Amino acid sequence: MPSYRIAEDAAGRRADVALAEAAGVTRAQARRWIDEGHARINAAACRPAQRVRAGDVLEADPPAPVPAAATAEPIALAVLYEDADLVVLDKPAGLVVHPAPGHPRGTLVNALLHHCADLAGVGGALRPGIVHRLDKGTSGVMVVAKHDAALAALAAQWKQHDIERVYRALVRGAPAAATGRIEAAIGRHPHDRKRMSLATRRGRPAATGWAVIRRFVTSGCTLLELRPETGRTHQLRVHLASAGLPILGDPVYGRAREPGLALGRPALHAAVLGFTHPSRAERMRFEAPLPADLMAALAELERRERGA
């Protein structure tokens, strides 16, 4: 990993400026490295605007370059609905939505380019047709636009919060009430740029409604229905963790391993997606059943309840 010691004449400069000069890259590129967690000061996470001091050691671990455009790959897709304007999918857990450093191939976008021959160029080379995204570990319903007009119409609905989204989540903990709402701004974690947090000065407003579906008293777990009112990065995971209800299997905001449940990812599923069709002005609603791993976890929790 390349490292650079800050000289006296560079003291007081912003971290992104110092990194750009030391590594010979643009300031925008240096800022991306910092935002994505690929740069550190004195072995600690830093911010682009952080001021460096003489003697500081600035480390950079640049991500692998991403191809200029995604390529088509024959990856199977679970299609719930498709027409000339859009395709609705049931994304499996473990599938990254679009190419990024560390995931140049094998993404949902690569699969879509193979499935839809005319998708390339809709909305951008690396994110063609992508209206919204789900985290790699989250399963469930997604909609993809097939042309620019459909993309613009669907994106406008997201911006106006005219989208129905319902999630299912298995959490550790037992809320006292049957329903509730979490309203707290979310922004980048002040010390870990790969995480989101409520402890930030530049958070964006975020709200999540929740309701109890099933309580598993013996295991101290709860199945929740979640209705996000906004769409911030990691919103559901951050909000639930902040309420003392971390999602089972979440390695970032909870704990990766849950004894006896064999969850290799956060137990979060996008169960329902509703929107207005971009051409027909018809309201549409799609549901994706819980995948096998979450069904198995629920079955194990039910078994424990019966044995209590």
Put simply, whether the predicted model's pTM sits higher than 0.75 gets the answer yes
**What does the alpha-carbon distance between residue 9 and residue 3 come to, in Å, rounded to a whole number?**
17
Domain boundaries, given as residue ranges, for the chain: 3-60, 64-160, 161-308
Instruction: Using the predicted structure, report yes or no on whether residue 42 has a pLDDT greater than 90.
Output: yes
161-308 and 3-60 share a CATH fold: no
From 81, 211, 232, select the one nearest 158 (Cα to Cα). Answer: 232
For the segment 108-137, what is each residue's pLDDT rounded down to a tens digit?
A: 999 999 998 778 667 666 678 889 999 999
Structural contact between residues 183 and 235, judged by C-beta atoms closer than 8 angstroms: no
Instruction: Using the predicted structure, report yes or no on whether residue 67 has a pLDDT greater than 70.
Output: no
List the catalytic residues.
135
**What does the alpha-carbon distance between residue 49 and residue 76 come to, in Å, rounded to a whole number?**
43
For the segment 257-290, what is each residue's pLDDT rounded down to a tens digit?
A: 887 888 999 999 999 999 999 999 999 999 999 9
- 235 pLDDT band, cuts 50/70/90, is very high
Q: What is the CATH number of domain 3-60?
A: 3.10.290.10
User: What pLDDT, on a 0 to 100 scale, did the predictor assign at position 62?
Assistant: 80
**What does the alpha-carbon distance between residue 72 and residue 83 come to, in Å, rounded to a whole number?**
20
For the segment 211-230, what is each residue's pLDDT rounded down to a tens digit?
A: 999 999 999 999 999 999 99
Instruction: Using the predicted structure, report yes or no on whether residue 21 has a pLDDT greater than 90.
Output: no
User: What pLDDT, on a 0 to 100 scale, did the predictor assign at position 52?
Assistant: 93
3-state secondary structure the chain: CCEEECCHHHCCCEHHHHHHHHHCCCHHHHHHHHHCCCEEECCEECCCCCECCCCCEEEECCCCCCCCCCCCCCCCCCEEEECCCEEEEEECCCCCCCCECCECCCCHHHHHHHHCCCCCCCCCCCCCCECCCCCCCCEEEEEEECCHHHHHHHHHHHHCCCCEEEEEEEEECCCCCCEEEEECCEEECCCCCCCEECCCCCCECCEEEEEEEEEECCCCEEEEEEEECCCCCCHHHHHHHHCCCCECCCCCCCCCCCCCCCCCCCCEEEEEEEEECCCCCCEEEEECCCCHHHHHHHHHHHHHHHCC
Average pLDDT over residues 28-40: 85
- 194 pLDDT band, cuts 50/70/90, is confident
User: What pLDDT, on a 0 to 100 scale, did the predictor assign at position 125?
Assistant: 63
Instruction: Using the predicted structure, report yes or no on whether residue 174 has a pLDDT greater than 80.
Output: yes
Amino acid at 199: A
Average pLDDT, the chain: 90
From 49, 58, 71, 69, select the one nearest 23 (Cα to Cα). Answer: 58
Q: What is the CATH number of domain 161-308?
A: 3.30.2350.10
Q: Which CATH number fits domain 64-160: 3.30.2350.10, 3.50.50.60, 1.10.1040.10, 3.90.1150.10?
A: 3.30.2350.10
